[in-house]
Amino acid sequence: MSRARAEDFPNRPVSLWVPWPAGGATDLTLRLLAELAGRQLGQRVIVENRAGAGGTLAMPVLQQSAPDGYTVAQMPQPVFRAPYTQKVLWDPIRDTTAIIQISGVTFGVVVPPDSAFRGFEDLLDFAAARPNELSIATNGVGTTPHVVLDELFGGRGLSYIHVPYKGTAEQMVAVASGQVMAGVNSNGFAPFVDGGRLRLLVTFGEQRTRRWPQVPTLNELGYGIVAMSPYGLAGPHGLPPSTVQTLHDAFKAAMFDPLHVAELAKFDQELVYLGPEDYARSMRETYAAERRAVERLGLRKSG
């Protein structure tokens, strides 16, 4: 088979792997981004979903794909944490080529609208009074919500029942219907909160959100935690610089398109742009920071 030259890129559709279920906030925003980037590239960008394992299942795809630009993937925060907490055969730095950072997410704790929990402190008080009775859903083992919960509860000697879900939609339905007592996730809860099906107790950002200015942050409540999990796109290790530049330029134009900006706003997201070099540096810094966090929390894998 003849190999297409980098300067001919792209001459066929590009696959964008999303490690979350179809229909969630990240999937929806990336699908629009893919459509807009495809217009820039002159080729379709096809979204492929591979959900599970806390958002890390696109990494084996990158590791095993040719560095020709036709396979890219979202890089969510868990891919920088998983190598320290479980046995994986891939490395988020060694096996990738950074392309572009796109956005970050708003994490928060939600409860059913009729819940007796009126503030985040109520969850801690309940866990202290009734050990192992508080059930909290997250978007997966080892995800940022799970790690934050372990830090908040474990650091105080408190326990809770962790209920991991593969996707945001089913998780939010479970919380809204009372199957679990609370949930922690990112922007996908926005329509449920705005529609009155869930109540937002606290968010994890540096400052209160413009969308829900009445909701406090963990930081201002004195817990010293800020989490927004910036994410971007990467390709396999060894992508030619010209291919990286072509992909970067297309996705940058797409991410700043007013249609994409408006779609992000639906989920209280804003653009957090970084180019290839800056994003690569940020990825390395994130990987190092996750190692320190995992060791601090005692989550490091054994053996």
The number of domains in the chain is: 2
Residue range 168-199, pLDDT digits in tens: 889 999 999 999 999 999 878 999 999 999 99
- Please indicate, yes or no, whether residues 33 and 95 belong to a single structural domain of this protein: yes
pTM of the model: 0.80
77 in any annotated domain: yes
Residue range 55-111, pLDDT digits in tens: 999 999 999 999 999 999 999 999 999 999 999 999 999 999 999 999 988 899 999
- Please indicate, yes or no, whether residues 19 and 166 belong to a single structural domain of this protein: no
Collapse the DSSP code of 10 into the 3-class scheme (helix H, G, I; strand E, B; otherwise coil) and give the result. Answer: coil
- What does the pLDDT read at residue 292? 84
- Paired with 49 in beta bridges are 18
Mean per-residue pLDDT for 3-10? 70
CA distances 200 to 40, 95, 215, 236, 266, Å, are: 38, 38, 7, 38, 16
- pLDDT surpassing 50 at residue 255: yes
Are 28 and 263 a contacting pair, CB within 8 Å?
A: yes
Residue range 210-245, pLDDT digits in tens: 889 999 999 999 998 888 889 999 999 999 999 999
Mean per-residue pLDDT for 129-148? 91
Q: Which domain covers residue 67, as residue numbers?
A: 6-104+229-297
- Please indicate, yes or no, whether residues 39 and 15 belong to a single structural domain of this protein: yes
156 in any annotated domain: yes
Give the dihedral sign, CA 39/40/44/46: negative
Instruction: Give the pLDDT band (50/70/90) at residue 4.
Output: very low
d(CA 298, CA 101): 29
129 in any annotated domain: yes
Instruction: Give the pLDDT band (50/70/90) at residue 3.
Output: very low
Q: What CATH number is attached to the domain comprising 159?
A: 3.40.190.10
